[in-house]
Chains A and B, each alone.
Chain A
Amino acid sequence: GAGVSQSPSNKVTEKGKDVELRCDPISGHTALYWYRQRLGQGLEFLIYFQGNSAPDKSGLPSDRFSAERTGESVSTLTIQRTQQEDSAVYLCASSLFDGPGNTIYFGEGSWLTVV
């Protein structure tokens, strides 16, 4: 597709369940990012992947959060044993290559509600 695609667009889950969020970056983009946006707040960096290098996981809030990326394509963000404070929009983004000043293109997000 032309843009960053995320699924599901909306997910309601019960507290304690695991969830997986999927991201398809723009074709050919080597860098992929995950952000979290809580209601009424800014974007919080979670993790990013850059080609074959080790991912930068410095923003993951706890060990319940993990992410994987297959080559330079699809990424999955997994949240284990979800808590109510995990409710947020999870945004995926990609850029052509990893480097400062690159334009990052965002998907429309996956809205997660933990009840």
Chain B
Amino acid sequence: AQSVTQLDSQVPVFEEAPVELRCNYSSSVSVYLFWYVQYPNQGLQLLLKYLSGSTLVKGINGFEAEFNKSQTSFHLRKPSVHISDTAEYFCAVSEGNQGGKLIFGQGTELSVKP
């Protein structure tokens, strides 16, 4: 069965510093990978997704993620964070034979400090 592990529950970082939020998945078939963001008191919104092709995916707000099949990872990165990036970030996976259903990780709380 597929599963998603987000290795860090909380990531504190100073403004303008780089950040990496880690995500690993397990699956025996082809997968599609997503990052969603949940700002305080708001619903989830899609940051980026990997379907096929280039393993480096660029999303909104300057975020990018790299799909690494051999390491079964899909880490999220941003070279310079802002206070407004403070939010909960969720990694998710869907399998090719499971329709559109997403399985989510536990989330990583990114806290950007001035």
Q: Inside 8 A of B32's CB, which chain A residues have their CB?
A: 100-101
Quick check: A50 and B102 within 8 Å, CB to CB? no
Residues of A66-115 contacting chain B, CB below 8 A = 91, 93, 95, 97-109
Residues of A23-45 contacting chain B, CB below 8 A = 31, 33, 35, 41-45
Q: Known: A42-B90, A42-B104, A101-B32. Contact between A50 and B99, CB under 8 A?
A: yes
Interface size class of B (residues with CB under 8 A): 20 to 34
Q: Is A48 close to B, CB under 8 A?
A: yes
Q: Known: A41-B106, A43-B104. Contact between A101 and B49, CB under 8 A?
A: yes
Docked complex Cα distance between A35 and B106 (Å): 13
Q: Is B94 close to A, CB under 8 A?
A: yes
Most A CB within 10 A of own CB, among B96, B98, B104, B106: B104
Docked complex Cα distance between A71 and B97 (Å): 24
B46 interface neighbour in A45, A48, A103, Cβ under 8 Å: A103
B99 interface neighbour in A43, A48, A107, Cβ under 8 Å: A48
Quick check: A100 and B96 within 8 Å, CB to CB? yes
Most A CB within 10 A of own CB, among B32, B44, B49: B44
Nearest B residue (CB) for A107: B43
A91 interface neighbour in B44, B95, B97, B106, Cβ under 8 Å: B44
Docked complex Cα distance between A33 and B44 (Å): 13
Q: How far is the CB of B15 from chain A (nearest CB, A)?
A: 25
Q: Is A56 close to B, CB under 8 A?
A: yes
Quick check: A42 and B100 within 8 Å, CB to CB? no
Q: Known: A41-B106, A42-B90, A43-B104. Contact between A100 and B99, CB under 8 A?
A: yes
